[in-house]
Structure 1
Amino acid sequence: MKVELSIPNKLVRPWVECYWNVEFDNGEHVKNETILPNGKVEMIFALEGNYRVMNRKTHNMKYAWMSGIHHEPLEIQYKGKSNLIGIRFYPHGLFPFFRFPIHETVNQVENLESIWGVFQEEMYHSIHTAKDSSQIYAMLDSYLIRKISESKTKQLHVLTTIINRIRNEPTISIPDLASNLGFTQRHFNRLFKDHTGVNPKLLSQIYRFEKAFSYLFNYSNEEVADLILSLGYYDQSHFNKEFKRFSGMTPGEYKEKAVYSNNFL
């Protein structure tokens, strides 16, 4: 398997965490994979591969698609060779590039053709004919720079401040954070949802869940019992309920599957 990450141009870096390229061959065996909520937004170009989404409105993925913030598990199926190019956006990262309300992308996987039309076709053709990944990343920089709407970048500083605080302190009080930044609770929630598609409380719960399933993978059950309290869960029952809400599994079911697969799912 080949896995490669690349840092984008400084002009798109406030919105895009990284570009990535993954290549592997799963043979003729059909692979079913569960992708758990993690607060990430992905735009993916399949230079090679056949992917199917099992539990969303859009099932058959074509050459390029976008996956918004999810607060439910995403089930995908694939087989054979894969060569994927990805753009990983920050939670607020889609806002400057699209005209429609960002909340429409939440829990959705959409073919990029239905969103960008001819522009998507131009992108895909250029990427597919590039000589190497470095040229692809340079092309992605160029295409994204063309799409940035400067009128929609005014709240960048406050959005990055909010999201960094929530990511680093998922137990932070959202009303206190709003007050400290000089916002009413209503304005704070509206601003956040306009840019990310979700409210700040939900994103903090997703980040907390992401930490929780990494703990389950890396630590014993006894250690996890202590660690979950540090994440702000009231007790084991609260942890179990919220874990199943985001993953569709109990913590025990997740741990068994993750250890068997040797990954985080």
Structure 2
Amino acid sequence: MAGVSEGASGVPDPRLRPYVLGYEGYLLRGFDPGTHVGMPASVLTVIITIDEPIELAVSSHPDQPGGTWEMLASGLTTRPCVIAHNGYQHGVQLALTPLGCRALFGMPASALGSWIVDLPEVFGPSARELRERLAAAPDWPRRFEILDEVLLRAVRPAHWDAELAHAWALLSGPDPAVRVAAVADEIGWSRRHLGNRCGAELGVTPKDLARIARFERSHAMMRLPEPPSLAEVATLSGYYDQAHMAREWRELAGLPPSVWREREEFPFVQDPQPAGIAG
């Protein structure tokens, strides 16, 4: 049986959009069992399964063993995880901004780091309510309405100072030529202070945030129905050349882009588009 991918994308209530970029509902069935690489991203990932739990054979944190989760939250990371699947997955994924981590979980993204945690640990009883109600809902629009309802009830307004917010927008944005030194100069901070603030709030360095954004751009291009050549992807994404992109992919995805493109058959949603590409 050929694999079938069914799902839907949802845009959160306007009051949530500084904190949640989008909802992705997915139902994947009929695929051959295998593994899938969960890529680093400039957003935090929240997954709420509807049927079977999600199994991570390899975690994104080097000190965390693999495991299974009915619901999970994960922070920013420069390491991939490996997702094992039996050809079937059903659930909803949320893309949270780092500011959303403060607004919904009451903590900076750095507190999560690259660890994967049970969602109830950071979201409390509302996590169980979400899973039960999403599973009982008849369709994706109703599930997205439930997400809006529960998240709006839980969200607490959160703010960054203007300099950090602008640095985040530049480093995670669509400009392939962004440089950390130029960002520090633009906001009036030293590189050291920028690094300290990013580490304390985001859990990654400014350099790594720019690397992740560049990687996301290349990954999104390679997922297009008719992707450009690898050399074109490298240029458009901001890499020096194709060899530079291949080195970065080995570190961030665990394999070069050419190998990933040959092997990846499971159209999973753990690979969200960066905000600059998704708009």
Aligned to 2:228: 219
Change (3 A) 1:58 1:97: farther
Aligned to 2:142: 135
* CA distance in 1 between partners of 2:183 and 2:159 (Å): 21
TM-superposition CA deviations, 1:125-150 (whole Å, max 9, x none): 23333343333222222322233333
Deviation at 1:14, TM superposition (A): 0.8
**2:251 counterpart of 1:245:** yes
Deviation at 1:203, TM superposition (A): 1.2
Aligned to 1:35: 38
Secondary structure of the 1:242 match is helix
Task: Count residues with an aligned counterpart.
Answer: 257
Aligned to 2:20: 16
Is contact 1:64–1:111 with CA below 8 Å preserved after alignment?
A: yes
With normalisation by structure 1, the TM-score equals 0.82
Which moves more between the two structures, 200-209 or 185-194? 185-194
**2:144 counterpart of 1:161:** no
Change (3 A) 1:227 1:123: closer
Change (3 A) 1:136 1:250: closer
* CA distance in 2 between partners of 1:154 and 1:240 (Å): 35
Change (3 A) 1:238 1:113: same
Aligned to 1:25: 29
Which sections of structure 2, spanning at least 5 residues, go unmatched? 272-279
Change (3 A) 1:240 1:47: closer
* CA distance in 1 between partners of 2:119 and 2:110 (Å): 16
Is contact 2:54–2:89 with CA below 8 Å preserved after alignment?
A: no
* CA distance in 1 between partners of 2:88 and 2:249 (Å): 33
Which moves more between the two structures, 121-130 or 48-57? 121-130
Deviation at 1:158, TM superposition (A): 4.8
Deviation at 1:46, TM superposition (A): 0.8
Aligned to 1:44: 47
**2:179 counterpart of 1:173:** yes
Secondary structure of the 2:178 match is coil
Change (3 A) 1:48 1:179: same
Is contact 1:93–1:196 with CA below 8 Å preserved after alignment?
A: no
Deviation at 1:84, TM superposition (A): 0.6
Secondary structure of the 2:90 match is strand
Change (3 A) 1:145 1:214: closer
Is contact 2:55–2:69 with CA below 8 Å preserved after alignment?
A: no
Deviation at 1:205, TM superposition (A): 0.5
**2:129 counterpart of 1:126:** no
Please, what is the CA RMSD of the aligned residues? 2.8
Secondary structure of the 1:168 match is coil
**2:120 counterpart of 1:116:** no
Secondary structure of the 1:11 match is helix
Aligned to 1:71: 78
- Which protein is bigger by CA-based radius of gyration? 1
TM-superposition CA deviations, 1:87-145 (whole Å, max 9, x none): 11124431222234422423322221233342322222233333433332222223222
Deviation at 1:196, TM superposition (A): 2.6
Identity across matched positions, percent = 21
Change (3 A) 1:183 1:3: same
* CA distance in 1 between partners of 2:24 and 2:120 (Å): 20
Which sections of structure 1, spanning at least 5 residues, go unmatched? none
Change (3 A) 1:154 1:38: closer
Change (3 A) 1:14 1:99: closer
